[in-house]
Amino acid sequence: MPARFLNLISKSAFAKTDQTQLHDTVESLRTEHGFATTFDVTGVTDLFQPALDGTYKVYFMGRLNRASSKTEAPSETVTNPTWLDLWRIADRLIVRQESGHRTHLYVEDFQEDEEGNLRVCYGS
């Protein structure tokens, strides 16, 4: 069964005031949790809401220190995660692979692969 992300809104429904409030929340959580990355997934307005139902393997292929296969890529398994849980995992995986190469790291998406696992997508 494909991953069905929960608690997403359309970009057009996301008011400017919501964007400012979310930015402030992200920065506060980033500091509080010591994250090296910034959460920037379109459609997420509340990081404490459930993101998915079920158990998923989350992995990060990397860009500069690219893993040669999904089996070699760093990964973690999560059950019924909130968006904050997914960010926490993505942060750990990205830092493990890329922290020495980039100064601004943004978690931009989680894409489901053909096996039902989630690939972390990021930008800088």
pLDDT at 120: 94
**Residue range 53-80: mean pLDDT, rounded:** 87
Tokens 């008011």 appear where? 15
pLDDT tens digits, 17-29: 567 787 888 899 9
Question: What is the number of domains present in the chain?
Answer: 1
pLDDT at 124 over 80: no
Q: Is the residue at 109 inside a domain?
A: yes
Residue 32's domain comprises 11-123
Domain for residue 2, yes or no?
no
Burial class (CB in 10 A: 0-12, 13-18, 19+), 30: middle
pLDDT given at position 101: 61
| pLDDT score for 76 | 95
Q: Does residue 90 lie within any of the structural domains?
A: yes
- Closest listed residue to residue 74, CA positions, set 91, 51, 87: 91
- 104 assigned to some structural domain: yes
Res 3: pLDDT: 66
Among 16-25, 66-75, 105-114, the minimum mean pLDDT is found in 16-25
Q: How much is the pTM?
A: 0.85
Which amino acid is it at 91? D
Give the pLDDT band (50/70/90) at residue 14: low
Does some domain include residue 4?
no
Instruction: Show the DSSP H helices in the chain as ranges.
Output: 16-33, 83-98
Return mean pLDDT, the chain.
Answer: 84
